[in-house]
Structure 1
Amino acid sequence: MASHSKKKTLKGPTPEEIVNGFQNLRAEQRALTSKLSEIELDLNEHKMVIETLKNVNEDRKCFRVIGGILTERKVKDILPVLVTNQEKLKELIDKLHEQITKKGQEINDYREKHNIRFRGLENPKQDEPITSTEARGNVLVS
């Protein structure tokens, strides 16, 4: 007696896989935003230190932490390095803004492709659960 196995044919990702993919995209966007905030704080610190050091005698000693090590230098040696770092931070911030925008577009495209809707946002009067026939091809995120 031979057993016949029925193969389940999938027409694409399951709703769980779609939701997981969407959540991964959102997590990536949050990580980029978090990194952006961190870099912006660093940039503000650079601005404050640069403004302070501009009014100080250039031969005065100052201290800087590099890789966890406190180093002693003169203001005239540190100030140009800080200005260069500030410019690089500004460039990095611009790149992160671009990446966040692209990730947002990727999320929107993913939502449209998989017809993802948020409960209460797109049709506030619809509080009833979606039946399995209505959910085919749609994903509801609450």
Structure 2
Amino acid sequence: MEGAQQQQQGPKLPPGVLQHYNKLKQEYSELFRTQLDLEEEKREHELVIDAIKDLEADRKCWRLVGGVLIEKQQSEVMLNLKEGLEQISKTHDMYQEQIKGREKALIEFETKYNLRPNRDASQGQQQKQQSKQNTGVLA
């Protein structure tokens, strides 16, 4: 009977291994969520740039900054949006690299301690599909 209980629980792990593993998974999830938020923000910037690109440069535009509407010209708003888009893209790329590193660390950790030997490749595909499903239309 004891042998059956030990098989259900799996092999004994050194103290703190599961806590460290859970911490790694949580950090990975947070990075991934932040990356999804950045992708959404990037799409919003691209949408606004596309909407105002054909307007005259001296046309009035209203931009929400910190909960306050500010009147600016199209040329100023376009410049700010392009700079913001560039920053978002750089930050997104940085998070992408961190996610790859964290994923590699998770796989190594899982392999070392035999935590999930039959890791599904579908998990990464599910996250990519979720990312694609988070697209919205601004009307």
TM-score > 0.5 by shorter chain:
yes
Q: Which aligned runs of 4 or more in structure 1 are off by greater than 3 angstroms?
A: none
TM value normalised by structure 1:
0.69
2:80 alignment partner AA:
V
Which residue pairs with 1:80 in the alignment? 79
Deviation by residue 1:22-76 (Cα, 9 ceiling, x = unmatched): 1111110010010001011000010011111111121111111112222111101
Which residue pairs with 1:45 in the alignment? 44
Q: Which moved more, 1:67-76 or 1:31-40?
A: 67-76
Counterpart Cα distance in 2 of 1:89 and 1:80: 14
Which residue pairs with 1:4 in the alignment? none
* Unpaired runs of at least 5, structure 1: 1-11, 123-142
Which residue pairs with 2:56 in the alignment? 57
Q: Which moved more, 1:61-70 or 1:80-89?
A: 61-70
Counterpart Cα distance in 1 of 2:116 and 2:36: 29
More helix by share: 2
2:93 alignment partner AA:
D
Q: Per the alignment, in what secondary structure is the counterpart of residue 71 of structure 1?
A: strand
TM value normalised by structure 2:
0.71
Q: Does 2:27 correspond to 1:24?
A: no
Counterpart Cα distance in 2 of 1:69 and 1:28: 34
Which residue pairs with 2:134 in the alignment? none
Which residue pairs with 2:8 in the alignment? none
Q: Does 2:14 correspond to 1:13?
A: yes
Q: Per the alignment, in what secondary structure is the counterpart of residue 63 of structure 2?
A: strand
Number of residue pairs matched by the alignment: 107
Q: Per the alignment, in what secondary structure is the counterpart of residue 96 of structure 1?
A: helix
More strand by share: 1
Counterpart Cα distance in 2 of 1:94 and 1:22: 25
Counterpart Cα distance in 2 of 1:47 and 1:40: 11
How big is the alpha-carbon RMSD for the aligned residues of Structure 1 and Structure 2? 1.6
Which residue pairs with 1:132 in the alignment? none
Bigger Cα Rg: 1
